[in-house]
């Protein structure tokens, strides 16, 4: 594996990483009042829910590695209220030193955890079914899930879509409508699915299946607009 400047070389550099990368989040009011918010950690992202009631905090933690960068260190995703109350742990992924080099290989476990842009506080995520190894033949390969910020006791994430290729991206619209894209490098095939996530008995519909190398068949991307919360959704065109 090729080494880079991002990799830690020894225990001393691990201690330096802890010292310089650890941060303390604070809430600052318009009046200048400062309040300590959640425990210190090595936070790599902070994402508020569209209704601004929750914060999704992503951090990395020990054990570190000397052969991969911090992006593959153990990663924890937690939900907190905006007042600083812990809600739950969404996932805690282990150190990822063994991601295969094959194209379309990814990290094991949940990934791409996001807020639904047109919902107050609903999460969607993707999880591999092949251990992240693109060399393994399996169906489905990825599953797209949806879950509320605070599930009821015993409530499991809802399966939105099962994919035979690797999940690539999605676009969401107001209400119950979304476009989900999957892609497979070896065949260059890309698929676009239409899903209605709020209808449990809905069957996904294949909208496009084409070669990613065929530029003439590329339908382009949907026109997007911003919601009142500032999130991006597919624009709806009013007809007279």
Query: Could you read off the pLDDT of 18-71 as tens digits, one per residue?
Result: 999 999 999 888 899 998 889 999 999 999 999 999 999 999 999 999 999 999
Query: Could you read off the pLDDT of 22-33 as tens digits, one per residue?
Result: 999 998 888 999
Nearest to 93 by CA among 131, 66, 120: 131
| Mean of pLDDT values over 125-153 | 96
Query: Could you read off the pLDDT of 189-236 as tens digits, one per residue?
Result: 999 999 999 987 889 999 999 999 999 999 999 999 999 999 999 998
Residue 106 in contact with residue 99, Cβ under 8 Å?
yes
Check residue 4 and give its pLDDT: 61
Residue 106 in contact with residue 132, Cβ under 8 Å?
yes
Using CB atoms within 10 Å of the CB of residue 141, give its burial: 0 to 12 exposed, 13 to 18 middle, 19+ buried.
buried
Mean pLDDT of all residues in the chain?
A: 94
Q: Starting from the edge strand earliest in sequence, which strands make up the sheet with 110-115, in order?
A: 110-115, 122-128, 142-148, 158-163
| Mean of pLDDT values over 88-104 | 96
Residue 195 in contact with residue 116, Cβ under 8 Å?
no
Residue 3 has pLDDT above 90, yes or no: no
| Mean of pLDDT values over 133-153 | 96
- Phi and psi angles of residue 212, each rounded to the nearest 5 degrees, phi first: -70, -15
Check residue 226 and give its pLDDT: 94
Helices and strands: H and E segment counts in the chain: 1, 15
Residue 141 backbone class (left: φ over 0; alpha: ψ -120 to 50; beta: rest): alpha
| Mean of pLDDT values over 76-91 | 96
| Mean of pLDDT values over 117-134 | 96
Confidence of residue 174 (pLDDT cuts 50, 70, 90): confident
Report how far Cα 206 is from the mean position of its chain's Cα atoms: 23
Nearest to 43 by CA among 29, 17, 28, 25: 25
Confidence of residue 113 (pLDDT cuts 50, 70, 90): very high
Residue 178 in contact with residue 197, Cβ under 8 Å?
yes
> What does pTM read for this prediction?
0.92
Check residue 220 and give its pLDDT: 94
Residue 1 has pLDDT above 50, yes or no: no
Residue 2 has pLDDT above 60, yes or no: no
| Mean of pLDDT values over 160-181 | 94
């Amino acid at each position: 594996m090729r080494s880079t400047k991002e990799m830690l070389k020894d225990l001393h550099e691990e201690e330096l990483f802890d010292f310089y990368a650890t941060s303390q989040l604070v809430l600052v009011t318009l009046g200048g009042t400062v309040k300590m918010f959640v425990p210190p950690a090595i936070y790599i992202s902070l994402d508020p829910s569209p209704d601004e009631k929750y914060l999704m905090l992503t951090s990395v933690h020990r054990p570190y590695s000397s052969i991969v960068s911090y992006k593959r260190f153990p990663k924890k995703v937690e939900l907190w209220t905006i007042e600083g109350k812990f809600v739950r742990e969404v996932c805690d992924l282990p150190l990822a030193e063994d991601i295969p080099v094959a194209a379309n290989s990814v990290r094991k476990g949940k990934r791409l955890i996001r807020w639904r842009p047109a919902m107050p506080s609903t999460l969607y995520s993707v999880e591999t079914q092949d251990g992240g190894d693109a060399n393994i033949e399996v169906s489905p390969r990825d599953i797209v899930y949806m879950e509320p910020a605070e599930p009821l006791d015993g409530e499991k994430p809802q399966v939105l879509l099962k994919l035979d290729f690797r999940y690539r991206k999605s676009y969401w619209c107001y209400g119950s409508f979304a476009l989900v894209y999957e892609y497979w490098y070896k065949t260059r095939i890309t698929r676009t699915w239409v899903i209605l996530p709020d209808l449990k008995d809905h069957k996904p519909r294949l909208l496009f299946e084409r070669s990613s190398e065929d530029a003439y068949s590329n339908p382009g991307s949907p026109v997007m607009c911003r919601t009142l919360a500032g999130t991006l959704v597919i624009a709806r065109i009013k007809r007279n």
